[in-house]
């Protein structure tokens, strides 16, 4: 059970690191996505929320950098948590439980980013749900579900190892 939790966290750390790496090394591709969502240029033309749009390139870049930073932070926390769990794999249950704290923090940062940032702010505040082309809600939902499932699994009580 412990090994599966460690491997799950290591895999999630890799996944999140690749997401952040992709956004850094191919900055322009997803920047366009962020710009369109913030500019609200593809939502219903008669929607009454267009006043919320952000057109300033500096603010759009700042939002994108914040997203990348949160992705990287989640990856580092999950990876460090996996490493600490690995080091505590043969330790008493209480020690292994404490070793999971950074992994839980990393998963939580991810949930806050994709649920709070993409689904709540992007989807609802900026009306991303109205866009057929610049709608990342399905992807955000997938991220949230994987991260929440990992949180639930990681949170299961861990008994002492059998000798």
Q: How confident is the model at residue 36 (pLDDT cuts 50, 70, 90)?
A: very high
**DSSP result, 91-103:** S-HHHHHHHTHHH
CA 32/CA 30 separation, integer angstroms: 5
pTM metric for this prediction: 0.94
Q: How far does Cα 131 stand from its chain's mean position?
A: 22
Reported confidence tier of residue 134, pLDDT bands at 50, 70, 90: very high
Residue-wise pLDDT tens digits, 85-111: 999 999 999 999 999 999 999 999 999
What confidence category does residue 163 fall into, taking pLDDT thresholds of 50, 70 and 90? very low
């Amino acid at each position: 059970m412990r090994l599966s939790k460690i491997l799950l966290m290591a895999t999630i750390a890799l996944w999140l690191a690749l997401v952040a790496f992709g956004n850094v090394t191919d900055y322009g591709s997803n920047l366009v996505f962020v710009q369109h969502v913030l500019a609200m240029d593809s939502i219903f033309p008669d929607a009454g929320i267009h006043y919320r749009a952000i057109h300033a390139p500096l603010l759009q870049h700042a939002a994108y950098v914040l997203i990348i930073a949160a992705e990287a932070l989640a990856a580092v926390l999950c990876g460090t948590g996996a490493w600490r769990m690995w080091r505590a794999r043969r330790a008493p249950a209480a020690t292994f439980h404490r070793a999971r704290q950074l992994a839980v923090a990393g998963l939580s940062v991810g949930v806050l980013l994709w649920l709070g940032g993409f689904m709540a702010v992007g989807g609802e505040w900026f009306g991303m749900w109205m866009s057929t082309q610049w709608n990342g809600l399905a992807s955000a939902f997938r991220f949230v579900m994987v991260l929440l499932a990992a949180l639930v699994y990681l949170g299961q009580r861990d008994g002492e190892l059998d000798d």
